[in-house]
Amino acid sequence: MVNDVIVSVLLVGGALMSLAAGIGLVRFPDLLSRMHAATKPQVLGLLLFLLALAVEFESWPLVPVLVLCWIFQLLTSPVSAHMVGRAGYRTRHLRRDLLTLDELDDVVARAAEGDPAGPDRTEATRREAGGGTA
Amino acid sequence: MTTVVYVAGGILAIAVLLALYRAVRGPSILDRVLALDVVLAVVGAGLVLNMVAGRHLDNLVLLVTISLIGFIGSVTVARFVTDRK
Amino acid sequence: MSRQRIPLVTELPLVIWLVLVWGALWQDFSPGNLVFGAIIAYAVVNFFYLPPVELTGRFNVLWVVPFLGRFLYRLVVASAEVFWLAVTRGPSLRSAVVAVQLRSRSDFLVTATGHAISLIPGSLVLEVDRSTSTLYLHCLHIRSDEDAEAIRRDVRATEVWLIRLMGSRTDLDALTAEEARR
């Protein structure tokens, strides 16, 4: 009985996280702010759903798989978020009028002047690739 | 319990509709990829809901697979967008 | 690709991780299964060669639980906050790109900090400058310089936690020296 209540709360909570992502996707003004909304069901929403699963089935052998599932998500979702965010910034998919502050702008401008390939960029890519497989 | 499953499923349905709206509207391909990522997350949530409702564990493999390789699509598209510029 | 031999000790964390993954996927942690998993893990590590990730060689188990607690707490708070912003503010939201200079020069630690920051809704790593270990973050709902400063402090606090958890000796010594000065 208590379990049922916990499972219900977790399920509805996880579903609300997805709903928040949906609302954020529709209402936020530009790509980069939408990305913040999108990471939520992937991290906290998944955690709540996995917890619901663990509580519902009450079996210990299940727990490592669920933890593993969450760890995979933790390792992979920042990689895709970083790649999409970086591509979005570089292809000017953001509303500059909505930025209070942009400390990357002049850095990028300087890198673009120096050499088009941009040493910082290849470095960043390699690092993120290494981080993803770590 | 059935009520909860229906409520959560309803919320997920609204979420997926909102995400699909963004996927259709765009405006850029990165927006669409992002929206489809959210759709994938909702599909994962739906798999868990299905397991809880049916009291089985058949979808667990799918869930682990989604969380492991779900990011590849958006990384590929992001790469493509950057390089074509 | 030139393939130099990697000593088993540096591969050991990866092998152990793969064995744990194997056990978790089979939902079976019996010795026989684990031994079989270890054989496969060893073969995988040797056949599918990856450049070794340079760990810092230090891991403080005592800090795991507090760090996870802080991480989960911030995750929940930030998620609720972004939900609230999506509902109330929506299109009129202002954000910022903030540069944060980290202390550590270790690739591993900068990556870990970036991951932890990206996972929490409301901040997102756009770019990394490896030579100065600077993270460029996109942050939601920044209206003034004070907000940006708060974000910087927050990120550097996350880094402090990670240094305590698994930073190298030199990073840890630098941190204690810095705290002693204050």
C-beta atoms of C126 and A77 within 8 A: no
- Do residues A72 and B68 touch, judged by C-beta distance below 8 A? yes
C-beta atoms of A41 and B33 within 8 A: no
Report the alpha-carbon distance of residue A37 to residue A22 in Å, rounded.
8
| Residue B20 pLDDT exceeds 90 | yes
Interface probe with A: pick from B5, B6, B12, most Cβ of A within 10 Å: B12
Burial of C179 (0-12, 13-18, 19+ CB in 10 A): exposed
Tens of pLDDT, residues B31-82: 888 899 899 999 999 999 999 888 888 888 899 999 888 888 888 888 887 6
- Do residues A40 and C99 touch, judged by C-beta distance below 8 A? no
Tokens of C96: 């910022």
Q: Name the residue with tokens 């910034």.
A: A89
Running DSSP on this structure, what letter comes out for residue C57?
A: S
Say which residues have a Cβ less than 8 Å from residue C141's Cβ, sequence separation at least 6: C81, C85, C89, C93, C94, C95, C122, C147
Closest CA to C95 of B25, A74, B24, A29: A29
Question: What domain count does chain B have?
Answer: 1
Alpha helices per DSSP H over chain C: 8-26, 31-47, 64-88, 107-119, 145-166, 169-181
Tens of pLDDT, residues A68-80: 999 999 989 888 8
Tens of pLDDT, residues C14-41: 888 899 999 988 888 889 999 999 999 9
Q: Provide the residue range defining the domain that includes B36.
A: 2-84
Tokens of B16: 């997926």
ipTM score here?
A: 0.87
Residues of A in contact with C143 (CB under 8 A): 100
Buried b (16+ CB within 10 A) or exposed e, A54-77: bbbbeeeebebbbebbbbbbbbbb
What average pLDDT score do residues A28-55 get? 87
Report the alpha-carbon distance of residue A1 to residue A24 in Å, rounded.
35
Query: Looking at CA atoms only, how far is residue B24 from chain A in angstroms?
Result: 11
Among A117-126, C44-53, C137-146, C171-180, the least confident range: A117-126
Interface probe with B: pick from A84, A94, A126, most Cβ of B within 10 Å: A84
